[in-house]
Amino acid sequence: MNSFESDDGHVIVRLDRGDMALESIERACTAHEVDTGAVVTGIGTFSTLHIHYVDRTDLPDEQADRNASRELTGAWEVTDINGVIANGEPHLHVTAFDGDRTVGGHLEQGCEINVLGEITIRKLPGLELERRPNDRQISQLERR
């Protein structure tokens, strides 16, 4: 992993074969002091893809009961990674294609880069956000 910052607050993260996507993005946020920002583009390939997504509409009280997880292997072409960084913590979604199916969901740790990855982060100076759970235990963006 390598990262580069422009004068106007953009951070480009280069991911190499064997790098872990989310973990590398988190390290880049720390290294470049990204408190509040947005991942505005992300492309690449994964050899392992770990995601979760909400698979129901009734929203049970237990948060763990709301999500389905997938751990997929193979050659995954990543067509998009995007999301918001609040209080230094990325909340990102991914869309990927393996030649037969397209999947999408919340990007989890353990997504290994197959060939390459390129992520663009935009810092949002003057805005301080964090996630706080509401009465249904759903994390929502709020000003700090």
Query: What's the one-letter identity of residue 122?
Result: R
Is the pLDDT reported for residue 63 higher than 70? Answer: no
Alpha-carbon span 143 to 104, nearest angstrom = 28
State the CATH number of the domain containing residue 35: 3.30.1330.80
Q: Is 52 part of any domain? A: yes
Of the pLDDT bands very low, low, confident and very high (cuts 50, 70, 90), residue 101 is very high
Whole-structure pTM value: 0.94
Q: Is 133 part of any domain? A: no
Q: What is the mean pLDDT of the chain?
A: 95
Q: Is 31 part of any domain? A: yes
Tokens representing residue 71 in the block: 């751990």
Is the pLDDT reported for residue 60 higher than 90? Answer: no
Which of 1, 8, 11, 6 has its CA nearest to residue 88?
Answer: 11
Domain of residue 87: give its range: 2-125
Alpha-carbon span 10 to 83, nearest angstrom = 15
More confident position, 136 or 125: 125
Task: Please answer whether residues 117 and 43 qualify as being in contact, where contact means their C-beta atoms are separated by less than 8 angstroms.
Answer: yes
Which of 42, 25, 45 has its CA nearest to residue 34?
Answer: 25
Q: Is 56 part of any domain? A: yes
Q: Is 72 part of any domain? A: yes
Q: Is 143 part of any domain? A: no
Q: pLDDT tens across 28-41, in order?
A: 999 999 999 999 99
Q: Is 138 part of any domain? A: no
Q: Is 135 part of any domain? A: no
Of the pLDDT bands very low, low, confident and very high (cuts 50, 70, 90), residue 64 is low
Number of domains in the chain: 1
Mean pLDDT along residues 54-77: 85
Q: What sections of 32-85 are H helices per DSSP?
A: none
Q: pLDDT tens across 9-35, in order?
A: 999 999 999 999 999 999 999 999 999
Is the pLDDT reported for residue 99 higher than 70? Answer: yes
